[in-house]
Copies of this chain bind each other. A is one copy, B any other.
Amino acid sequence: MNASVALRLPVVPFWSADDVRASLRAAGSIGLRTRALPAGSTLFSRGEALRQVFVVMSGAVQVQRADRAGQARIVDLALAGDVVGFDDFASGLYAADALVLRDAVVGAIEPKRWWRLSVRNPRLPALASLGAAQVHRALRQNMRLRLGAPSRLADCLLQLAEKLGSVDIELPLSYQDLANYLNLRPETMSRALHELERSSCLRRAGRTRLELDPERLRLTRATPRRRQV
């Protein structure tokens, strides 16, 4: 009975994209220290003391943890506009490893300093807003993990297309790692990919280059565990 309360609300886009860069730009990025990092470098590692929370300005960063069996799990994929590292703000220690996938520029925010700055500059986005942005992403990943394999992949690709602002995208990681992120086996990933290709949701134009059809992808995403004709 509890679960049926929200049923009659209209269906609207579930989560809006939120690009933290925009608010930083609006604030004139006062006092934002940026850092350029080459692909393959490390943004932070597990166990280090947390000094900064990061905003990805460009490029791509993956965040991974070891699960209880010691297996590495990719738990986050941050592109331009995304916030990384906020989850460890309270504990003071990074609990995950952040790896730069594509040459990136990140804004490094030192909480204390940022807080002082924002006392004087009310236009500066509050730390808390950055946190809210990361919660949003975590919740979207949450909902994604509730879908079947093809829908899961479709949702992920749609988000990538949205972020990158193009239907013609270059994946920042291997299919293997993408499978890890989506909690699928590489074999299943391969099959889901072919499934999407078969239903004209996308066309493969190179190893990790895809041309997407957002309309059809949305259709597939909405299809609960059943193939389209």
Chain B residues with Cβ below 8 Å from A4 are 72
Q: Does A211 contact B (CB under 8 A)?
A: no
Chain B residues with Cβ below 8 Å from A88 are 132
Question: Which residue from B9, B47, B101, B128 sits with its C-beta under 8 Å from A131?
Answer: B128
Q: Does A75 contact B (CB under 8 A)?
A: yes
Q: List residues of A (86-136) whose CB comes within 8 Å of B's CBs.
A: 86-91, 95-97, 99, 101, 111, 115, 119, 126-136
Question: Which residue from B69, B75, B96 sits with its C-beta under 8 Å from A222?
Answer: B69
Q: Does A229 contact B (CB under 8 A)?
A: no
Chain A 59-84 interface mask (CB, 8 Å, partner B; 1/0)? 00010111111111111000000000
Chain B residues with Cβ below 8 Å from A142 are 75, 138, 141-142, 145
Chain B residues with Cβ below 8 Å from A64 are 2-3, 5-6
Q: List residues of A (1-48) whose CB comes within 8 Å of B's CBs.
A: 1-7, 9, 11, 14-16, 18, 46-47
Considering the chains assembled together, what is the distance between the CA atoms of A11 and B70 in angstroms? 6
Known A2-B177, A174-B2; contact A87-B224, beta-carbon cutoff 8 A: no
Chain B residues with Cβ below 8 Å from A159 are none
Given contacts A89-B131, A138-B138, 12 further A-B contacts (CB under 8 A): A4-B72, A5-B64, A6-B46, A7-B71, A68-B222, A73-B143, A75-B142, A75-B143, A87-B136, A128-B130, A128-B131, A135-B138
